[in-house]
């Protein structure tokens, strides 16, 4: 969609450039004298000249002002004639006709200087031109620029634009900007109408203005003289505060769910190896790290297709981490069944080996994994509620992984055999299930899911050899909190912990929030050693 706008804009621009030299000879008589005054003018005079130039409304003025803002408007030293410098290179162009005027040595040119104040008015002037731009996002930016310091002229321009505006969000921006300007009106009824128009508006400017209206000035009298307006302002503020509180609560919830989803994603592989198989895999974090590095390698291998690289990386990471997981199971864990503490130590050894291997292969520095376009940016629902896309996607991604795992566990032959082995190994074996195959595949699946988690983490944190270590304690806590052997418990437990963490963060700071959560978990395990959703029945007794 956007490219269509861009093309349309380009066409409009070229059309105006082509048309202008033919039809505006008369206007040149207005513009040229104004332009020729620029080199000699002081900053205050320039201010006035810019105002007059912009006031002509001539479409060519926009390019001239833009050049002035960029420092590309120059005067020839010999006669003071104005040119636009650059594009392409150091060629000069006539500002009005656009005709090429050759080159001149730098010493023969004097740049027309601007100061910060001029830059500000230049931006506003440019914005006024952009207000008629066919691209709604350009118009939106223009409105924003103009509303920074609205004066009577700008207000008039915006008011003139409002009836012609077609885009809803631009209309909204203009209307609230005009209402804000109306708050300064002498007429109390207009102020009152403006306040009514601003009710529920989440723009921070509105909030600040309304608060200022309710303040008392130095001599004790209220800033706003009219009592009715004051009451309306107080009412509007209350509604704004309520809306803000609601949206910030929603935002906390969303970020909490997103952080919880990261925890769930990190823990869900562990929930399989630890929960279903009873194996403590301390190398789980490093399997996630391998997943993150797989993403990095995939991106290196297909630099042309960054957007697709993440999608490709998911199966790759699953296979890489899964294969390493199967190797760990066949090589080490298999010999240690029934001795969980020994498994813990041996797999910790594996984690050290993997860390050092990655350090030797990829160096100890963090690798940069690129975030593809479709994951970057954020979804701005309104001015009080916005969530970055990667935080939003991870919630859905985790749910997808979760339900896929449930499907495998509940609806496939492999899942059936897996559950049989975890409930009663000897009986399963007697029924003809190849338990050692199932063990290896289960461990491989848990490890593969860790790899997938690593792909997601590569979009959220630094990819380095220590990536896994920072998640291992958290993941264990989530599994134990949710109840061992229960994927639903892991899902709920992880999300609950994420939300609690985010709720505490504004009160106590991030680190302290994490400490509180850890202490809470330690105490929780004392009360319910089997977690939120303990396993029931025979499997729980072993």
Partner 1 sequence: MPEARAFRIRLGNDPGGRSFLAVLVIAGVLVPLMYFFVPETSALHLSGYTVTLLAKYMSYAMLAIAVDLIWGYCGILSLGHGAFFALGGYAMGMYLMRAIGARGVYGDPVLPDFMVFLNWKELPWFWHGFDQFWFALMMVLLVPGLLALVFGYFAFRSRVSGVYLSIITQALTYALMLAFFRNDMGFGGNNGFTDFKDIAGFSLQSPGTRVVLFLCTVIALGGSFLLCRFVVSSRAGRVIQAVRDAESRARFLGYRVESYKLWVFVLSAVLAGIAGALYVPQIGIINPSEFSPANSIEIVIWVAIGGRGTLYGAAAGAVFVNYAKTYFTAALPSFWLYVLGTLFIVVTLFLPQGIVGAVGAVRRRIARP
Site for partner 1, rule CB under 8 A? 280, 282, 332, 335-336, 340-346, 348-353, 355-356, 359-360, 469, 472-473, 476-477, 480, 511-512, 514-515, 518-519, 521-523, 525-527, 529
Which residue lies nearer to partner 1 by CB, 152 or 511? 511
CB of 47 to partner 1, least distance (A): 46
CB of 422 to partner 1, least distance (A): 16
Q: Of 360, 281, 359, which Cα lies nearest the Cα of 327?
A: 281
CB of 336 to partner 1, least distance (A): 7
CB of 365 to partner 1, least distance (A): 14
Q: Which helix (H) or strand (E) holds 111?
A: strand 109-111
Q: By CB neighbour count within 10 A (0-12 exposed, 13-18 middle, 19+ buried), where does 210 fall?
A: buried
Which residue lies nearer to partner 1 by CB, 234 or 345? 345
CB of 357 to partner 1, least distance (A): 8
Our measurement of the distance from residue 16's CA atom to the centroid of its chain's CA atoms, rounded to an integer in Å, reads 37
CB of 345 to partner 1, least distance (A): 5
CB of 367 to partner 1, least distance (A): 18
Which residue lies nearer to partner 1 by CB, 151 or 360? 360
Tokens of 412: 């496939």
Contacts of 186 (CB under 8 A, 6+ apart): none
Peptide bond into 299 cis (omega under 30): no
Which residue lies nearer to partner 1 by CB, 168 or 511? 511
Our measurement of the distance from residue 373's CA atom to the centroid of its chain's CA atoms, rounded to an integer in Å, reads 11
Q: By CB neighbour count within 10 A (0-12 exposed, 13-18 middle, 19+ buried), where does 247 fall?
A: middle
Q: By CB neighbour count within 10 A (0-12 exposed, 13-18 middle, 19+ buried), where does 106 fall?
A: exposed
CB of 116 to partner 1, least distance (A): 35
Which residue lies nearer to partner 1 by CB, 323 or 525? 525
Which residue lies nearer to partner 1 by CB, 424 or 469? 469
Q: Which helix (H) or strand (E) holds 382?
A: strand 378-382
Which residue lies nearer to partner 1 by CB, 379 or 519? 519
β pairing state of 378-382 and 385-388: antiparallel
Long-range contacts, 64-73 (Cβ 8 Å, 24+): 64/35, 64/95, 65/122, 65/125, 65/126, 65/129, 66/126, 67/95, 68/38, 68/112, 68/114, 68/122, 69/114, 69/119, 69/122, 69/123, 69/126, 71/111, 71/113, 71/114, 73/38, 73/111, 73/112
Which residue lies nearer to partner 1 by CB, 336 or 420? 336
Which residue lies nearer to partner 1 by CB, 234 or 473? 473
Residue 208, number of CB atoms within 10 A of its CB:
10
CB of 530 to partner 1, least distance (A): 9
CA dist 397 and 416 (Å) reads: 25
Contacts of 518 (CB under 8 A, 6+ apart): 473, 477
CA dist 246 and 483 (Å) reads: 33
Which residue lies nearer to partner 1 by CB, 195 or 480? 480
CB of 346 to partner 1, least distance (A): 4
CB of 470 to partner 1, least distance (A): 10
Which residue lies nearer to partner 1 by CB, 29 or 526? 526
């Amino acid at each position: 969609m956007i490219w269509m706008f861009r093309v349309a804009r380009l066409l409009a621009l070229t059309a105006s450039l082509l048309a202008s030299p033919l039809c505006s000879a008369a206007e040149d008589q207005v513009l040229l004298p104004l332009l020729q005054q620029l080199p000699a003018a002081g900053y205050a005079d320039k201010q006035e000249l810019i105002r007059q130039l912009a006031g002509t409304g001539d479409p060519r003025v926009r390019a001239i002002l833009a050049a002035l803002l960029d420092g590309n408007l120059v005067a020839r030293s010999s006669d003071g004639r104005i040119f636009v410098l650059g594009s392409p290179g150091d060629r000069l162009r006539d500002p009005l006709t656009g005709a090429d005027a050759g080159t001149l040595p730098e010493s023969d040119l004097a740049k027309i200087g601007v100061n910060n104040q001029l830059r500000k008015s230049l931006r506003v002037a440019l914005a006024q031109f952009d207000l008629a731009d066919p691209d709604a996002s350009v118009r939106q930016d223009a409105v924003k620029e103009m509303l920074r310091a609205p004066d009577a002229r700008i207000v008039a321009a915006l008011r003139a634009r409002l009836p012609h505006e077609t885009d809803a969000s631009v209309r909204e921006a203009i209307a609230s900007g005009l209402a804000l300007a109306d708050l300064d009106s002498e007429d109390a009824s207009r102020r009152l109408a403006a306040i009514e128009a601003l009710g529920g508006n989440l723009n921070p400017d509105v909030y600040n203005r309304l608060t200022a209206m309710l303040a008392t000035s130095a001599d004790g009298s209220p800033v706003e003289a009219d009592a009715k307006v004051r009451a309306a302002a107080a009412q509007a503020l209350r509604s704004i505060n309520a809306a803000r509180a609601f949206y910030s609560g929603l935002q906390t919830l969303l970020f909490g769910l997103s952080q919880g989803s990261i925890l769930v994603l990190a823990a869900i592989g562990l929930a399989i190896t630890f929960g279903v198989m009873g194996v403590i895999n301390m190398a789980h974090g490093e399997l996630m790290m391998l997943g993150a590095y797989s993403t990095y390698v995939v991106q290196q291998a297909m630099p042309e297709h960054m957007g697709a690289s993440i999608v490709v990386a998911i199966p790759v990471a699953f296979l890489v981490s899964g294969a390493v997981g199967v190797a760990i199971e066949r090589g080490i864990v298999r010999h240690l069944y029934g001795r969980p503490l020994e498994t813990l130590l041996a797999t910790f050894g594996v984690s050290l080996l993997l860390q050092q291997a990655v350090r030797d292969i990829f160096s100890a520095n963090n690798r940069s994994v690129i975030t593809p376009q479709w994951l970057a940016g954020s979804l701005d629902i309104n001015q009080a509620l916005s969530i970055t896309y990667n935080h939003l996607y991870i919630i859905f991604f985790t749910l997808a992984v979760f339900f896929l795992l449930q499907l495998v566990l509940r609806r496939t032959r492999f899942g059936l055999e897996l559950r049989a082995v975890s409930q009663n190994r000897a009986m399963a074996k007697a029924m003809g299930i190849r338990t050692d195959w199932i063990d290896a595949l289960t461990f491989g699946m848990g490890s593969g899911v860790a790899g997938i988690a690593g792909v997601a983490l590569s979009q959220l944190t630094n990819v380095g050899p220590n990536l896994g270590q920072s998640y291992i304690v958290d993941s264990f806590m989530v599994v134990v909190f949710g109840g061992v052997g229960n994927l639903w418990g892991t899902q709920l437990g992880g999300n609950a912990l994420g939300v609690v963490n985010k709720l505490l963060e504004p009160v106590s700071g991030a680190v302290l929030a994490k400490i509180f959560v850890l202490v809470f978990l330690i105490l929780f395990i004392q009360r319910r050693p089997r977690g939120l959703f303990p396993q029931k029945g025979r499997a729980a007794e072993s």
